[in-house]
Every structure is written in C-alpha cells, then in structure tokens.
Amino acid sequence: MKIAFFAVGIAATIAFAAPASAKMMACSTANMSKTGTAVGAMPDSAQKFGMMKEMSKVNTALSKGDMRGACKGYMRTQQIKA
C-alpha cells in the first residue's frame, strides 16, 4: 500500500513539474488503454515507434503485476509525446 501512495506522489510531482502544454495523465489502466489506442492511431514516425516500445514495456510490467514499473513506463511514454 505504501508503494501505491509513493507512485501516486511521484506521478503528481511529475505532473506539476511538466510544462502546461504537456499535461500528464494519471497512471491508471484506463488512461494507459486510452494512450495505447491513441498511439496506434498516430501516423508512422519515430515518436510513434518510441511510444509503442515504451507501451510494450508497460504491458509487460502489468502482466507481471508490477504497477510501479508500469507507471514508470507510462510516464516515459507521455514524455516522448511532449
């Protein structure tokens, strides 16, 4: 439980430190799903492939039950988009 609060705290800190134009989404499975769908709809580019690579790491972490690792990967995915 402490790890979940720690991950949420880090996510909130990163969200406040990001520029206003690059609004970070909360680390939840629903938001990860939305991001995955949006990445799939993007035209082919270096950013798309980088984001897909990070999202595959997120999916791997989720399948192992590692929510902390999934959140880290999700935050990296959002930074590529910015």
Inform me whether the pLDDT recorded for 5 exceeds 90.
Answer: no
15-72 pLDDT, tens digit per residue, is 444 444 457 888 888 888 888 888 889 899 999 999 999 999 999 999 999 999 999 9
pLDDT of residue 10: 52
Question: 20: alpha, beta or left, given left = phi > 0 and alpha = psi -120 to 50?
Answer: alpha
Q: How far apart are CA 20 and CA 37, in angstroms?
A: 23
φ/ψ of 24, rounded to 5, equals -85, 140
3-state SS class at 19 = coil
Helices marked H in the chain: 2-17, 29-41, 46-63, 67-81
